[in-house]
Structures are given as C-alpha cells and as structure tokens.
Chains A and B, each alone.
Chain A
Amino acid sequence: MRECHGIPGEFTLEGRKGWCLVSSEKHTDVQKRPQAGFSRRGFIRGVGLGGGAVGATIFQSTAEAAPPAPAALGPGEVAITLSINGKEHKLNVEPRLTLLDALRERLNYTGAKKVCDRGTCGACTVLLDGKAVYACSILAIDAQGRNIQTVEGLSQGSELHPVMRAFVNNDAQQCGYCTPGFVVAVKAFLDENPKPTYEQVKDGLGGNLCRCGTYVGIRKAVLEAAQARR
C-alpha cells in the first residue's frame, strides 16, 4: 500500500498515522452496517475499555470493487469527475482531498457534516453506489466512477423523502447537526432491511452518533419510514 497523502488533521500524537487507512491505491470502503455481535464496540468492550458507541461500522477493503490502481498521483492537483446526485461535476483536486471536503468545500453540498473526520461518528454519511459510507474516510479521487448520493439528492425540491418526513414527525432531531448523516444511514438501512424489527433498528444504526440525544425519535422514525415505504 502506497503511503497515504494524509487527511487534514493533526497526526502528531498517539500513533495517529494508523488512521491513514485510506489509500488512493486500493479502494477503501466502509462496510455497510455493523453486524450484530461483530462490531468495534463489541471488541472494545471485550478488551475492557468500556462501551459507548464508537463508530460501530468497520473499515473493510473491497478489493473486488476497486477500480484499477491509477498511476502515481499528486501531490499537485488532478482533474477528476464526480457523479453526485446524478449530476457530473468536473473539478481539480489534490489527491489527499477527502470526498467530504470535496463535497462541502468545493461543491457546496453541505448536508454531510464533518464532526470526527475519522470514520467514527457518521455525520458525513453519503451513499456510494447505494451503500452508506463515511465521506470523511474516502478520497475524492477514489469516488470517481461511483454513483454518489448525498442527503440533498434524496428529496425532490420541497418534497421530503419519506425518511425525512418520518424524522420530522417523530422529532428525531434537535440541533440537527447529526441529522443528515442519520437520514442517509437510515435510507441505506431500509434499502437493505425493508421490514426491520425494533431490535434490528437498534443494531443497524450503531455507526452514527448524536450529542443531543435524539435516538428515541430516530428509532420511531425508522419504523414509521419503513411502514410508509411499503
């Protein structure tokens, strides 16, 4: 694996280089949803560090889905094309730019939020070919040729997506900062689990965190949205 060009942030402590899991050579994806009984949280609990939802979603290399390795890129800018919500965007980016920064700072898709910038909190969740991923943990250059869907792409004009409607109905948001990430994660979850049980909802959304504590509303919203989609 070639050396990572680095994700914005501070790398000076505690061996944080270990976070450079994202390489521009091998496509790194994020597993869609945590499996019950096999989550990082479970692991951490097992080793006695305590519980708490760290991003239960785990990184996973999906070699079979990887595009062919590009020639050495950077450190200067390269021209890329991103397909976002069905629209092609051409832009020049440094290879180190994350998909999240490209979306937020270069293209003004600000629905996905940057909170941990390390694949833990889910605030930056977008869909890549229909699967929920953490946009902070994918390089923009690696998102080429993939179908990127952001929260902005889920609603049609002022018409809310059923998941969003359910969030509103169940007051599944307070400050709203984690909300777009949750909405996208819920959409992906329901695509895979159209008829989830309450227990599956709790297991399936461990990859997103909320500080205001909106989880009770979110659980209800997921069940309501599942009903509405039927």
Chain B
Amino acid sequence: MPEYKWPAMNARRVMGQPLDRVDGPDKASGRAKFSTDIKRPNMLYGALLTCPHPLARVRSVDVHEAEKMPGVRAVDVISGPGTEIQWAGTEVAAVAADTYQQALDAVRRIKVDYEILPGHLVNEADLGKAQAANRAKPAGEVVSGDPDTAFKEADVVSEGEYGIPVLAHCCLEPHGQVIAWDGNQAEFFATTQAVVAIGNDLAKGLEIPADRVHVRQDHMGGGFGSKFQAERWGLAAARLSRAAGGRPVKLHLDRRTELEIAGNRPSFFGKIRLAAKKDGTITAWESTTWGTGGIGGGGLSAALVPYVFTKIPNKRVNHTAISTNCGGARAWRAPNHPQVSFLTCAAMEDLAAKMKMDPLELFLKNVQFTARPEVYAAQLKKAAEMVNWSKNWHPRGEGGKGPVKRGLGIGIATWGGLGHNSQCRTTIHPDGRVEVELASQDLGTGTRTVIHQVAAESLGLRVSDITVKIGDNRYPVSGSSGGSTTVGGVSASTRKSTLNALEKLFEIVAPALGAPANQLEAVDGRIQVKGNPAKSIAWRDACKKMGVSPISAMGENDQRNPMGLIDQGVGGVQIADVSVDTETGIVKINKIAVVQDCGLIINPKTAESQCLGATIMSICGALYEERIMDDQTGRFLNADMEFYKLAGIKDIGEIEVHLDIAPHHDGRGVIGLGEPPVVPGIAAISNAVANAIGVRVPRLPMTPDRVLAALERRKA
C-alpha cells in the first residue's frame, strides 16, 4: 500500500499553488452549460401553478381547458382534491407544452377551487401572538450549573433583545431540471449539490431502482444548502415527461416561486442576559429565543448557545419553535451558526459597552470558555491588527462629532468540515492520459480544480495533463456537498486513488529502471528512481509500457478513518469597520478583516474566494436581506430581486482575508472552508454599527429606517 500522507508543505509542486479555476474559461465565456441551459431533442417546457393562499383546502382542480390549449402535451395535478395547503406557493399543478409561453398560458386556464381556511400565521417576531395562536412549541428548558445564583452574585448583568429574520437562499440559477422519463429510465439534468443523492431521491419518488436514474450536471448556479432533493416539481416534471411519451421536460422555478418555496434560513429572535465579574469574565448566560423554519417550526440545539463560548459555566437556554404558514427552511450555509453568532457576539459587546470595557478585551478574557482558546486569542489579535483596533476603536457611541460615525465590531465562528465519504477511480491510459472520476459536484467552490491539483501532485504531472470527470451519478459514489465536507472527501479519495494507480504503473516500469517499484517516484512528468533524475523515464514512455490495457485503481475516503489526510474543526474571527450616517441611517462598510483558521489549503486562490464570497453574503444579511410576509394575504411580498435585496459591487467596502497558512495548521490535513467564513460577518457588522452610533439596532437587516429608529430611541 502506498503511503498516502500529503507531501511536505515545501515539497508540493501543484497543491498549494494559487492556480486559476480550471473551469474559469468556460464560465467566463458563457460556454458552461447549466441545467437551465440544457436543450434536448423534442424537449417540452414545463410551468407550475402554485397556490396563492397560505392555508386552504383544495376542493377541485379542473384542467380540462388547460389540456385543450395550443401546444399542451401533458398536465399533472400535484395537489389534488382534499389536499391541505400549508403555505402560499405550494405546487398545485404543472403543464408541459411545446413552448414556455404556451405552458404559462395553459397554467392560467387551470381552475382550482379552494376552501380558504382561517388561522394562518406568517410572522413570528411577536412571540406572544404566536403563543396565543397556539403556534409556539417550546423545546423545553436546558439548564447547566446554577444560573440563578450566578446572576445574583454577578458584578454586572446586561440584557438585550435581538432579531434576525428569515432569509431566502436566492440561488441565481433557479431550482428545477430537464428530465426525461419513459416509465423505465430517467435522464435527469439537475442543478444540485448531490448528484448521487438526488438520483436516489428521484428513484424513490418514481418507485424505480436507483440505477435507472442517470443524473448529469456539469455546472450549477448556486445552492448554499438548498439543492439536495428531487423535489415535488422534479417528480411532477418526470410524470409530465412520461405522460408525453418520454419527451424531455424542462421545468425551472420562476423567481417568485424560487424565493417562496425553494429554501430559506430560519429566523431567530431572542432576549439574552449575561452575568459577569468586574474583570469581564462571563459567569452566566440566559437566553429565551424563538424563530421559524416554516410549518415544522424549526429547532435550535441548546448545545449551540452560547455560541463558541460554550463552556460558560452557568446557563439557562429556552427555545421556542414557531410554526408558520411559509415555505419551509432548508440548510443555509452553516445552518444556524450566523444567527447564533449574532445573538452571542451582540450580547457580549452589549455587556462590554455596559461595563465600559473594550470588547476585544472582553472576548480575550472569555476565550477560556471556548474549545480552542489559543486559536481564538490569536485570531482576535490578528483581526484587531488588520483593522488597527488600538488606534481606531473608541468606546461605544464616541464615533466622532460629525453626522457620520465610524465603528468597529467583532464576530466569531466555529465549524466542523470533516471530509465526507468519497470514492474515486483513476485510469491511466497507455497514451499517457489520466482520467479521474468521482460522482461529486462543483458548486462554484472550486471542487473540480482541487481534484485536478491533488491528482497532478500525486502523479508528478501538470493540471492540464489530468481529465477530471464529475457531475454524473454513474461515476464512483461521492458524498453530497453539504457541511463543507466536499474538499476533504474528494481530496482524500483522489489522493488514494491516484497513488494506487501510480503504484501499478511503478510495477510496470520498475524493470526498465532497474529498481524495485517502491523505490520509484513520479516527478515533473517523469518516473524516476527516488532522488535520481538520471535514472528516469518520461511519463508517456512509461505509460506505453502498459501495452494495450489501461491501469485503473480506486481510492476511498472513509470519514471514520481519515488517515491524517483530513481533519475537522476550524475557528474564525471577523472585525467590521463601518460608517453610519446618522442623518440618513445608511450604513457603509469600510472594511472587513477576515481571519480564517484552516487546515491544508490546496488552492489559496479559490479558498480566498470562498472567504470573500461568504463575507459578502454576511453583508447582504446584515444590511439588506429580509423576507417580508404580509399578515393579511400570507404572501411573501418581496419575492423578487428588486425588493429582496442583495449587496451590489459598491456595497461591500474592502475585504481583507487572512488565511492562516502555516505548518502547524497544514499538518492537520484538509478541512472544509465553504461555510465557516459566512458565520461571523453579521455579528461583526451589527456590533460595529452599535459601536458607531452608541445604540444597538436590534433587528436585522439594519436598513436606514431601523437605524434611524434606534437613534430616536436613544434620544428619547
């Protein structure tokens, strides 16, 4: 068995290089094909009819007129008579027609008779109202230590209220698919974070064996946790295809439906109390939180609060899940972490403000309560240095004389990121070509690129010598891309598979080099006797010695046995520097310093992009994004991109990333990085605004009206 461990940091030739993303040219030139771009012979276009009511029972669905509309080939009823609709946007029926416009015309002719049911609830910010409506489900109090005594004996007690609304994933490529199902086989052009799992899910829904579903996906336009399942619309599209004699059906959600039902992140509202000693040591935590993830309510693990500072000795945690008639929550990049980081870090900075203590000192004082005190202490200091904290920080509310006030604030993160189970097959062809196959997927994180780099490193080749095949469930099974588990999983399986294949090649060329196979190495496009370039053979000539049959070898990552290749557990700290115009309420990001703990970094360029993109997402969440539900109609009022706002290129200030690439981190192996940097930003920005204007803006996003209202309250 070859030795799989990563080459020493200074011995790596391809790994660790900031190489360009291998699919960059395809993406930049518009050649990259996404699910929405797929065109198949005889393809039909699908459209959905969704329910406009948040709570209703379907009495009847009349599709007769729709069926007779020009171009219509099939109509599928998804929510038949008797179905109880629990949120607006629920799929009721679907049509497949020759053109998209014809499908939409036909959808408008479907007549649905609804019995509108009373008692919908779509807003959860008011806990009392939810309780009165009997929609609140307490998770039960969790107590550790003796919080009552700790609060009684505390030198300082601080209290605060905070709220962070539901956000939509708002992937730019909508959910949907092109699907052809003839009743036997299904061909499924998906947009997914899980080419294997989504095929299995579809097979289950269609009640066919999983190997009858062929999933394909070259590129996908964003998932962020929302694209794992085959979904109701996927099954409807398959049924439409079957009803139309197996013709492929293309059905993707329109923007309103995408925002309404294709994924969101739960809200969290909370009242938090902290007890501390005079020196800033926190002695107790008490939180009463509530939030919604849709009809199911949505939970919060008590173990997650207080966030990162989990070892605060005395705590009382209460969480209440609120069931609302809204599209259901899905995993959202670091599920629950950004919200809980915000609640925790905001409460800590409010405590510091009350004590007139520098919050950086307060955080440092309490890193003892984290799982990794040295790491967090170092990161806090590093981030502080990046924003010149010692010069630029001022006590809360002392942000200068003019109307524009400047402030700094801290946010903190933790994440796991252990590589998932993954299998990889490497094939070396007699003409020297190398193919690496995995049923994985690249969400835009750079997965395809890092697989190239690991393979090239192991085989002593260049990235351009390797062909990586992913995005097809017929390749060896690899895990879903969730939880930042992909990079660890695919890098470890690729490492093993390529070295296993290389070992076979060594055996073939060993006689020609007059050395045993285990004395050979692959370097710079040659196979040579270890440390002796004089005794070598070019890669292509070595491969010729195989004769006609290629070499093929598998490699597998087993989460339970990482073999030193992968690890989990990273921390992160971000400090935001903002300016707030107290006359207009507009918050401007000056800078965000991002310090991210990491393991072995395979590609610093794409790793940095993950940190930058995640931080920009936090800016969106802190300042702009919010799902706004109408109490009366129960509908998502801003389910478009005009009023469901994302940050633009001008709104992000300057972002400086510090990835701690150092031997002691590198030695841990590869750790996922997609999620952790999305966690601290919201807390950091909220704290920076409070520092600038002297008062907490309790509800996010910090829109101008909320900033101005907070300032009014302060004056009052």
Q: Please state if A104 and B37 are interface contacts (CB–CB under 8 Å).
A: yes
Most-contacted residue by chain A among B170, B606, B609, B649 (CB, 10 A): B649
Q: Please state if A113 and B101 are interface contacts (CB–CB under 8 Å).
A: no
Q: A8-B104, A117-B254, A213-B615 given as contacts; is B25 within 8 A of A164 (CB)?
A: yes
Q: Does B99 contact A (CB under 8 A)?
A: yes
Interface residue stretch chosen among B27-35, B321-329, B455-463: B27-35
Q: List 12 A-B contacts (CB under 8 A).
A: A51-B651, A52-B647, A111-B29, A154-B29, A167-B24, A171-B609, A176-B32, A179-B28, A202-B649, A211-B646, A213-B652, A214-B612
Q: Please state if A215 and B649 are interface contacts (CB–CB under 8 Å).
A: yes
CB distance from A59 to the nearest CB of B (A): 12
CB distance from A211 to the nearest CB of B (A): 5
- Note all chain B residues with C-beta closer than 8 A to A121: 172, 641
- Note all chain B residues with C-beta closer than 8 A to A9: 104, 254-256
Q: Please state if A177 and B24 are interface contacts (CB–CB under 8 Å).
A: no
- Note all chain B residues with C-beta closer than 8 A to A105: 45, 99-100
A204 to B20, CA, bound (A): 26
Q: Does A183 contact B (CB under 8 A)?
A: yes
Q: How many contacting A-B pairs (Cβ < 8 A)?
A: 241
Residues of chain A touching chain B, judged by Cβ–Cβ distance below 8 Å, are 8-10, 12-14, 41, 45-46, 48-56, 94, 96-97, 101, 104-105, 108, 110-118, 120-121, 123, 150-152, 154-155, 158, 160-161, 163-165, 167-169, 171-180, 183, 201-203, 205-206, 208-219
Nearest 10 pairs between A and B by C-beta? A53-B648, A111-B30, A52-B645, A213-B616, A175-B444, A177-B221, A176-B27, A213-B613, A50-B703, A52-B624
Determine the residue in chain A with the shortest Cβ distance to B633: A13
Q: Please state if A173 and B649 are interface contacts (CB–CB under 8 Å).
A: no
Q: Please state if A110 and B37 are interface contacts (CB–CB under 8 Å).
A: yes
Q: Does B705 contact A (CB under 8 A)?
A: yes
Determine the residue in chain A with the shortest Cβ distance to B50: A10
Chain A binding surface, main DSSP class: loop
Q: A50-B701, A215-B652 given as contacts; is B256 within 8 A of A10 (CB)?
A: yes
Q: Which B residues from 638 to 694 make CB contacts under 8 A with A?
A: 640-643, 645-652, 655
Q: Does B219 contact A (CB under 8 A)?
A: yes
Q: A101-B100, A105-B100, A183-B28 given as contacts; is B39 within 8 A of A174 (CB)?
A: no
Out of B26, B606, B651, B708, which one reaches A53, CB within 8 Å? B651
A192 to B242, CA, bound (A): 51
Q: A51-B623, A116-B255 given as contacts; is B652 within 8 A of A212 (CB)?
A: no
Q: A158-B25, A213-B614, A215-B647 known; 13 other A-B pairs, CB under 8 Å? A: A48-B704, A48-B705, A51-B703, A53-B651, A55-B641, A110-B37, A116-B642, A123-B172, A168-B20, A171-B606, A174-B609, A180-B30, A215-B616
- Note all chain A residues with C-beta closer than 8 A to B256: 9-10
A23 to B452, CA, bound (A): 49
- Note all chain A residues with C-beta closer than 8 A to B584: 45-46
Q: Please state if B28 and A51 are interface contacts (CB–CB under 8 Å).
A: no
CB distance from B21 to the nearest CB of A (A): 6
A58 to B219, CA, bound (A): 31
A165 to B23, CA, bound (A): 12
- Note all chain B residues with C-beta closer than 8 A to A214: 609, 612-613
Contact mask B168-183 → A, CB, 8 Å, 1/0? 0011111000000000
Determine the residue in chain A with the shortest Cβ distance to B171: A211
CB distance from B437 to the nearest CB of A (A): 22
Q: Please state if A114 and B444 are interface contacts (CB–CB under 8 Å).
A: no
